[in-house]
Amino acid sequence: MQRILASEVAAHAGKTVSVSGWLHKKRLLGGLTFINVRDRSGIVQAVVEDKAEVEKLRGLQIGTVLTVTGKAVAEERAPGGAELHHPTLEITTPVTHEPPIEIDKPLGHKSENLDTLFDNRVIGLRNLQEAAVFKIQAAITDALRKYFKDNDFTEIRTPKLLAEPTEGGAEVFQMDYFGKTATLAQSPQFYKQIMVGVFERVFEIAPVYRAEPSATTRHMTEYISVDAEMGFISLSELEVFLSGLLNAAVDAAWDQYEPELKRWNATKPVLPKTIPSMTMAEIHEKYSKATGENTVGEKDLRPDEERWICEYAKKNLKSEALFVSEWPASEMKFYHKANDKNPEIADRVDLLFRGVEIVTASMRENQYEVVIKQLKELAKGDPNDPGYAALLNAMKYGMPAHGGFGLGLERLTQKIVGLNNVKEAALFPRDINRLAP
């Protein structure tokens, strides 16, 4: 008999149908054996009454692969609104080992349990609530890509094996490369800028690597970076673009996965079409006044300050996201651009969302001579260093005003679902202590 999906059973009410999947749950109730079968579409319940059929399940564990053929009956209380009656079971792959965890119960996500969660990830992901995180992540990814494409971006693929660290710094992984040394890319920064010279608007969604030497709730050694770069734009246009992008991601997740998000106790982010913006000085002032701490004049936001100003923006600006503008130029990377009118500030905005920075966006310096000057002064770099050749060539042979941003896919997922640790939003997270599974 042709297989149908669990989600299609209700539409076949009255007919005999076959569903194939995993034994997801088994319980005895009033002399009846209820089983839940899971396939790619979800869950269907079957009521096993016939003794011979019940007997087939004896000794078999959750995870057993089987085909259940029975009569589809509408049943409001069953998952999907239907169940299978008087089924016959065909056990295709029996499982006799008891699973290491109970996959139908909510898995522990307390910080002290995360190692157990990740150690058991291979089976733990079969829990529907866990799996939903990654369904939501895939929907977010789609929404981001669609938004990029609707705005004329070209998707690119840039190398992660580099001769030199892109942005200097100690946090790089290095390896032997046929007698030379190769470095894993920390970001596609130089390449996406170079590709603005080709396609004007580009994006890439791909892994990047940071040899982050400590285990935090905010960092992984490998994560998926959503990178974009556009030519012929200004910082305020970048803000407009990012407002639209974040809204698109949030809407996609909630439009497609509202029940799953609610099961995670997530709330739909309050997000105006145009995300409000505040200067760093304003934030310092407000925070200092409200808390008694004094951050006035500081060159970055403290983590507590990020959380506080997000609460403030939610309450007073009706937005759970907030742009932070007017960063001090002294904190610029060499490829960043200082403001034309006030060289003390950088043309940079960060986007805070639910208490943390999720995006750093900035304009890049596009004048060859100025980039070289900044490279020497800000990065103490040598323009003849071959690691800079590609980026400098792009500038030398003509680059428009351009800017872009990077966004961690896991962090965005984390904030939309409401997870405490970014690693919970990675299928198989990597940090200083974890390379498996």
- Number of CB atoms found within 10 A of residue 72's CB: 22
Which residues ranging from 227 to 246 are in contact with a second copy (CB under 8 A)?
A: 231-232
State how far the Cα of 45 lies from the Cα of 82, in Å rounded to an integer.
Answer: 8
Q: Which two tokens stand for residue 54?
A: 């019940």
* Residue given tokens 């209820």 in the structure block: 34
Alpha-carbon distances of 323 from 92, 136, 236, 352, 405, rounded to whole Å = 55, 25, 11, 6, 13
Taking the complex as a whole, the smallest distance from the CB of residue 38 to a second copy amounts, in Å, to 9
**Are 72 and 17 a contacting pair, CB within 8 Å?**
yes
User: Looking at 85, 86, 167, 199, which residue binds a second copy (CB under 8 A)?
Assistant: 199
Residue 194, interface with a second copy (CB under 8 A)? yes
**Are 216 and 423 a contacting pair, CB within 8 Å?**
no
State how far the Cα of 107 lies from the Cα of 85, in Å rounded to an integer.
Answer: 30
Taking the complex as a whole, the smallest distance from the CB of residue 262 to a second copy amounts, in Å, to 21
Which residues ranging from 8 to 47 are in contact with a second copy (CB under 8 A)?
A: 20-23, 39-41
**CB nearer to a second copy: pick between 118 and 308:** 118
Alpha-carbon distances of 340 from 196, 230, 329, rounded to whole Å = 21, 19, 11
Residue 163, interface with a second copy (CB under 8 A)? yes
User: For residue 402, what are the β-bridge partners?
Assistant: 231, 364
Which residues ranging from 79 to 98 are in contact with a second copy (CB under 8 A)?
A: 92-93, 95, 97
**CB nearer to a second copy: pick between 241 and 308:** 241
Residue 73, interface with a second copy (CB under 8 A)? no
User: Looking at 10, 54, 131, 379, which residue binds a second copy (CB under 8 A)?
Assistant: 131
Residue 264, interface with a second copy (CB under 8 A)? no
Q: Which two tokens stand for residue 212?
A: 């982050």
Residue 107, interface with a second copy (CB under 8 A)? no
How many residues in the shown chain lie near a second copy by CB under 8 A? 93
Residue 176, interface with a second copy (CB under 8 A)? yes
User: Looking at 106, 108, 169, 213, which residue binds a second copy (CB under 8 A)?
Assistant: 213
Residue 122, interface with a second copy (CB under 8 A)? yes
Which residues ranging from 371 to 430 are in contact with a second copy (CB under 8 A)?
A: 386, 389-390, 393-394, 396-401, 409, 426-430
User: Looking at 14, 51, 178, 259, which residue binds a second copy (CB under 8 A)?
Assistant: 178
**Are 75 and 60 a contacting pair, CB within 8 Å?**
no
State how far the Cα of 229 lies from the Cα of 241, in Å rounded to an integer.
Answer: 11
Determine the interface stretch with a second copy among 9-17, 192-200, 315-323, 332-340 (rule: CB under 8 A). Answer: 192-200
Give me the amino acid identity at 314: K
